[in-house]
């Protein structure tokens, strides 16, 4: 279990993290979703033990992550937001350096390198200089460089920035495979689709504070409205109106009705009603609220705002 308790980190007058408390259980795929400057990288660097907070504690399995009596660092891997590779060296030389820094030697190092090149789908580029790699290839190498020592806990700080859909998918699948094998992952991103696809729990973070935390479904139920359903205003749907206004709000724009049920009204009741009136389900378009809508609701700004 990773536990943060009342963690505050300042840079001069900027409070990058503000009294953050958080528990992450073994095996989680935990998302940190927030705009530029929210405090995601700061949180990662504190958990990795690279910086120390002004206030609060961070422990992994009960041991502090920084300081003289700290947890065994070999349990942790950090994929940094900025690519940390030597461009003038080959891919193999890069991974050898990182592997040796992580304490690997001889056959163990060779096996770790072979696995890493397979996972990154870069076997045929082992002896190429990193400066000749595309951005996506560098991202993939940057990711496997953090995994050579097989950490139990992986911190991924925006590992898909600037990569094409193929590389992005390769990274997603690799991370999902690691997570299925029992590795706990903290994953930061600006992209709600990534958080939705990958994360078992998501935190929305801004101005150094956690604004919301839960599974995707937990978060979406915090929106002030439940699912929204739109349908055409026709004679066929007219008999619905009286019944729907009794259980929610109906607005009509440009020949189309928009129904927002009262909190707690189940979608199944709506479709039970339409069925009893002989109306086919295809007449109705249900729109799930999105994380973006929740973020706007909580902060008044878009996820990608600077």
The one of ligand ATP, Mg ion, none whose footprint includes residue 96, by CB under 5 to 8 A per kind, is: none
User: Quick one: which segment of 31-39, 56-64, 142-150, 264-272 binds ligand ATP (CB under 6 A)?
Assistant: 31-39
Instruction: Pick left, alpha or beta for residue 8 (phi over 0 → left; psi -120 to 50 → alpha; otherwise beta).
Output: beta
Minimum CB distance to ligand ATP smaller for 45 or for 94: 45
- Burial class, 193, CB count within 10 angstroms (exposed 0-12 / middle 13-18 / buried 19+): exposed
Q: List the x/- string, 221-260, binding to ligand ATP by CB under 6 A.
A: ----------------------------------------
Backbone angles phi, psi at 220, to 5 degrees: -70, -30
Which part of the chain contacts ligand ATP (CB under 6 A), choosing from 19-27, 32-40, 82-90, 91-99? 32-40
Q: State which residue, 46 or 145, has the beta carbon closest to ligand ATP.
A: 46
- Judged by CB under 6 A, the number of residues near ligand ATP is 12
The residue among 54 and 100 lying less far from ligand ATP, judged by its C-beta, is 54
Residue 38 interacts with, from ligand ATP, Mg ion, none (CB under 5-8 Å by kind): ligand ATP
Q: What DSSP line would sit under 177-227, residue for residue?
A: HHHHTT-EEEEEES-HHHHHHH-SEEEEEETTEEEEEE-HHHHHTTSSS--
Check residue 41 for interaction with ligand ATP (CB under 6 A). yes
Contact present, 273 and 243 (Cβ < 8 Å): yes
56 and 15 in contact (C-beta within 8 Å)? no
Per the listing, tokens 């590795």 go with 183
Site for Mg ion in 32-91 (CB under 5 A): 40-41, 81
Q: Of these partners, Mg ion, ligand ATP, none, which one is at the site of residue 184 (CB under 5 to 8 Å by kind)?
A: none
Smallest distance, Å, CB 81 to ligand ATP? Answer: 6
C-beta of 189: minimal distance to ligand ATP in Å?
9
How far is it, in rounded angstroms, from Cα 30 to Cα 24? Answer: 7
* b/e per residue 108-122 (b: at least 16 CB within 10 A): ebeebbeebbebbeb
Tokens of 152: 């139990």
Q: Which of residues 170-189 bind Mg ion (CB under 5 A)?
A: none
81 touches ligand ATP (CB under 6 A): yes
Kindly tell me which of 96 and 160 has the beta carbon lying closer to ligand ATP: 160
Measured distance CA(57)–CA(64) in Å, rounded = 7
Secondary structure class of 80 (helix, strand, coil): coil
Query: Applying CB under 6 A, which residues contact ligand ATP?
Result: 11, 14, 16, 34, 36-42, 81
Query: Applying CB under 5 A, which residues contact Mg ion?
Result: 40-41, 81
């Amino acid at each position: 279990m990773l536990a943060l308790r009342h963690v505050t980190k300042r840079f001069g007058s900027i409070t990058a993290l503000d009294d953050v408390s958080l528990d992450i259980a073994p095996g989680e795929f935990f998302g940190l979703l927030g705009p530029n400057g929210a405090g995601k990288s700061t949180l990662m660097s504190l958990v990795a033990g690279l910086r120390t907070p002004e206030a609060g504690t961070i422990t992994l399995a009960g041991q502090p992550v920084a300081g003289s009596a700290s947890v065994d660092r070999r349990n942790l891997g950090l994929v940094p937001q900025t690519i940390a590779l030597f461009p003038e060296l080959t891919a193999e030389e890069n991974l050898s350096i990182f592997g040796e820094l992580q304490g690997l030697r001889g056959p163990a190092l060779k096996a770790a390198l072979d696995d890493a090149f397979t996972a990154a789908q870069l076997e045929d580029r082992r002896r190429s200089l990193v400066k000749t790699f595309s951005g996506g290839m560098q991202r993939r190498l940057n990711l496997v460089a953090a995994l050579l020592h097989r950490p139990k806990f992986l911190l991924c700080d925006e590992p898909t920035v600037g990569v094409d859909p193929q590389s992005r998918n390769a990274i997603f699948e690799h991370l999902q495979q690691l997570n299925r094998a029992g590795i706990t992952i903290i994953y930061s991103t600006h992209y709600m689709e990534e958080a939705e696809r990958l994360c078992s729990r998501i935190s929305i973070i801004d101005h150094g504070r956690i604004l919301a935390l839960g599974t995707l479904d937990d978060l979406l139920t915090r929106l002030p409205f439940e699912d929204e359903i739109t349908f055409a205003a026709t004679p066929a749907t007219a008999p619905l109106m009286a019944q729907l206004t009794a259980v929610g709000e109906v607005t009509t724009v440009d020949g189309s009705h928009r129904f927002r049920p009262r909190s707690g009204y189940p979608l199944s009741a709506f479709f039970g009603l339409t069925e009893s009136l002989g109306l086919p389900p295809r007449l109705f378009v249900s729109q799930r609220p999105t994380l973006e809508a929740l973020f706007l609701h909580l902060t008044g700004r878009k996820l990608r705002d600077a």
